[in-house]
Amino acid sequence: MNANQNRGVIDTTNRMLAYLLNKPAFKENLRIVLKNIDPESSPELVKTLLWQDIEVSLGLLGALPDVANSLIRAIDEVLVQINDKFTPELLAGFIGSLLDEIDAVRLQHIIQNLQPLVRDISPLLKDFLQQIHNQITPDGGQP
C-alpha cells in the first residue's frame, strides 16, 4: 500500500496512538489514571454538581425544555428549508449519494456479529434484571 494514503484524522489518531502505546512511560501513566478511577466518589461529584450552587443546577434542568424545543424547532426549520429550496429530485439524488458512502457491508457485518453476542449475553442480562427486581419490595423500597 502506498505510504501516503489515508492520512486523515483517524489515520493520524491511529499513528499517534500506535506511537504512544509503544512508550512505557505513557502506558504507566495511563495505568495510574485507570487504577485511580474511584466509583465510590461519583455520588459526591453529583452532589457537588447539584448543590454547589442550586441555581446553576436547577437552571440547567429548567433549560431542558428550551433545549429540547430548540432542537425540535431547528429540525423542523431544516426540513422546511430543505423542502422549500431543493427539488425532490435533487434531494433524492444528493441523499442517495450520501447513503452510497455508508459502508453497508461493514454495517451488515456488525449486525451479524452482534446477533450471537446478544444471544449469549441475553440470559445473563435477564438474570441480572431478575435479581434487581427481586430486591425491590412491593412498596418500592429495598428489602
Q: Which is nearer to another protein, 19 or 86 (CB)?
A: 86
Report the half-sphere exposure of 56 (CA within 13 A, side-chain side): 7
Q: How far is the CB of 2 from another protein (least distance, A)?
A: 13
Interface pick for another protein out of 40, 84, 120, 139 (rule CB under 8 A)? 84
Q: Following DSSP, what letter does each residue of 30-94 receive, concatenated?
A: HHHHHHT--GGGHHHHHHHHHHTTHHHHHHHHHHHHHHHHHHHHHHHHHHHHHHHHS-HHHHHHH
Stretch that binds another protein, among 9-17, 26-34, 50-58, 81-89 (CB under 8 A): 81-89
Q: Which is nearer to another protein, 26 or 86 (CB)?
A: 86
> Does residue 103 touch another protein according to CB under 8 A?
no
> Does residue 6 touch another protein according to CB under 8 A?
no
Residue type, 55: E
